[in-house]
Amino acid sequence: MKRGVLTVLSGFSGSGKGTIIKKLLSVHPDTYALSVSATTRQKRMNEKTGVFEQDGVDYFFLTKEEFEKRIVEDRFIEYATYNENYYGTPKDYVFECLDKGLDVILEIEVQGALQIKEKFPDALLIFMTPPDAETLYQRLIGRGTETEDVVRRRMKTAIFESSLMDRYDYVLVNDTIDECAEKMHQMVTLAHDRAVCSTKLIDEIKKQLNTFSFD
Amino acid sequence: MKRGVLTVLSGFSGSGKGTIIKKLLSVHPDTYALSVSATTRQKRMNEKTGVFEQDGVDYFFLTKEEFEKRIVEDRFIEYATYNENYYGTPKDYVFECLDKGLDVILEIEVQGALQIKEKFPDALLIFMTPPDAETLYQRLIGRGTETEDVVRRRMKTAIFESSLMDRYDYVLVNDTIDECAEKMHQMVTLAHDRAVCSTKLIDEIKKQLNTFSFD
């Protein structure tokens, strides 16, 4: 069986990452697994937490002490601070899913994404953005859950993030949900045919070619 | 208008590159342009030649002297020797087509392909292969146009080429024509959304984000 693709989705806060991921998981439940991140940030209203990865869990909410203990124990693929909180990707679950052939989606911010690309060159990095910055601002305002200060900070973060967009494999414009989700699905599906994911096939063909003797 | 994608298709002799390209051009005539190579190799029966690029022309057949003159005049994107002949990609036509938004397909061997990737990091490199080496051998034999010596040389060349497959973006298995052509079309279509092809969009968003003032 072919190993799954480690897919990293980043994007401006308000770009609609969560919606697109939910769409992908509901349309292709047997193809994707969602990696659940651990974080030390405060729980938003309506967010669910969990001890093990399972449907409907948004984050593992950890104390700062617990998070730092797990860093020392090397239990994260990557971790980073973002808006003054820790975010990290627990290792075990991701590797298990990839080995089962599932494409694992990690929703992580840019610093963590670039760490992953460095450690795992076969990871697929997708950066999601609204069609323009005004749309982004309106979506953040429209959420209604954020204070003016938080919106301001997120827009500042967006400026930083935009400076690293060109380090991603793809820039995915989220205009309409269905089209965006379908395009992301195509990106991940085709990623299986990248040379970097075809080492088994390449080795097999090399071996076969060498059985022909031409002296 | 978005610039076209410079698409390089390589693959073992007998992998079916010509068939897939013809299919792509016939199904999507307004999307693709085929770059016609110049070569010093002998014309095969039924091959057409031309002075300017036009439908149905297989190669520009040049003498060794004329080819070397054009090398000096810097009129090739890349050139290489393959089976003791020169092959090269004339520059002008390719750039014109890309500027018109057409995706230009270059069918070239591995040395030239890697030259292109170095000079044009936004080029898309696809390596086509039959599902296995036995199929490759049978296709070469089945052609009936090649002497045993030529088949032997092509298989030896295949061994060399297989050592560079991992430098390509994609490995495309040519099992059935329709599926293979469709997959290649997806690869090229999605290539427009690579970050490396999205510099205009990225710059636009950066500029917009900076118009929001948050001090």
**B214:A155 CB<8 A:** yes
Amino acid B11: pLDDT = 95
| More confident site: B167 or A147 | B167
Cα(B52)–Cα(B47) distance, rounded to whole angstroms? 15
Two structure tokens written together for A182: 């379908």
Mutate one of A160, A193, A210 to test the B interface: name it (highest B CB count within 10 A).
A193
From the list A49, A70, A71, A69, the residue with the least C-alpha distance to A58 is: A49
In chain B, where the domains are located: 6-211
Asked whether residue A81 carries a pLDDT value surpassing 50, the answer given is yes
Asked whether residue A194 carries a pLDDT value surpassing 50, the answer given is yes
Is the dihedral angle over the CA atoms B26, B31, B33, B34 positive or is it negative?
negative
Residues of chain B in contact with residue A212, where contact means CB-CB under 8 angstroms, are: 133, 137, 155
- CB-hemisphere CA count at 13 Å for A209? 24
Residues of chain B in contact with residue A204, where contact means CB-CB under 8 angstroms, are: 132
User: What percent of chain A is predicted at pLDDT more than 70?
Assistant: 92
| More confident site: B146 or A26 | A26
Measuring CA to CA, how many Å separate A120 from each of A2, A112, B160? 16, 12, 27
Stated pTM of the model? 0.87
Exposed e or buried b per residue across A41-61, where buried means at least 16 C-beta atoms within 10 angstroms of its C-beta: eeeeeeeeeeeebeeeebbbb
Amino acid B109: pLDDT = 86
**A171:B198 CB<8 A:** yes
pLDDT, one tens digit for every residue, chain B (215 residues)? 789 999 999 999 888 999 999 999 999 999 999 998 889 988 877 676 554 444 446 788 999 999 999 999 999 999 988 778 998 999 888 999 999 999 999 998 898 899 999 999 999 999 999 998 888 888 888 777 778 888 888 888 999 999 999 999 999 999 999 999 999 999 999 999 999 999 999 999 999 998 876 65
Nearest Cβ partner of B202 from A166, A206, A211?
Answer: A166
Residues of chain B in contact with residue A187, where contact means CB-CB under 8 angstroms, are: 190, 193
**A205:B132 CB<8 A:** yes
Tell whether ipTM is more than 0.90.
Answer: no
Two structure tokens written together for A57: 């869990």
Residues of chain B in contact with residue A190, where contact means CB-CB under 8 angstroms, are: 170, 183, 186-187, 190
Q: Which residues contact A68 (CB under 8 A, 6 or more apart)?
A: A86
Give the distance from residue A58's alpha carbon to the nearest chain B alpha carbon, in angstroms. 28
Which residue is listed with tokens 């953005």?
A129
A199: nearest CA partner in chain B: B166
Residues of chain A in contact with residue B170, where contact means CB-CB under 8 angstroms, are: 190, 193-195
**B166:A137 CB<8 A:** no
What single letter denotes the amino acid at residue A37?
A: S
- With vertex at residue A55, the alpha carbon angle to CA A52 and CA A61, rounded to the nearest 5 degrees, is 50
Amino acid A52: pLDDT = 43
Residues of chain A in contact with residue B132, where contact means CB-CB under 8 angstroms, are: 204-205, 208
Cα(A108)–Cα(B171) distance, rounded to whole angstroms? 28
Amino acid B70: pLDDT = 95
Contact B111, B160 (CB under 8 A): no
Residue A186 banded pLDDT, cuts 50, 70, 90: very high
Amino acid A48: pLDDT = 62
Cα(B92)–Cα(B113) distance, rounded to whole angstroms? 18
Of 3.30.565.10, 3.40.50.300, 3.30.413.10, 3.40.640.10, the CATH number of A6-211 is 3.40.50.300
Exposed e or buried b per residue across B171-189, where buried means at least 16 C-beta atoms within 10 angstroms of its C-beta: bbbbeeeeebbebbbebbb
Phi-psi region of B178 (alpha: psi -120 to 50; beta: other; left: phi over 0): alpha
Contact A184, A172 (CB under 8 A): yes
Give the distance from residue B31's alpha carbon to the nearest chain A alpha carbon, in angstroms. 19
**B205:A166 CB<8 A:** no
Is the dihedral angle over the CA atoms A135, A140, A144, A149 positive or is it negative?
negative
Contact B13, B158 (CB under 8 A): yes
A76-82, strands of its sheet edge to edge? A60-61, A38-39, A85-90, A76-82
Mutate one of A153, A170, A172, A209 to test the B interface: name it (highest B CB count within 10 A).
A209
**A158:B209 CB<8 A:** yes
Mutate one of A196, A198, A207 to test the B interface: name it (highest B CB count within 10 A).
A198
What single letter denotes the amino acid at residue A204?
A: E
- With vertex at residue B109, the alpha carbon angle to CA B107 and CA B115, rounded to the nearest 5 degrees, is 100
A194: nearest CA partner in chain B: B170
**B190:A208 CB<8 A:** no
Q: What percent of chain B is helix, strand and coil (3-state, nearest 5)?
A: 45, 20, 35
Contact B89, B97 (CB under 8 A): no
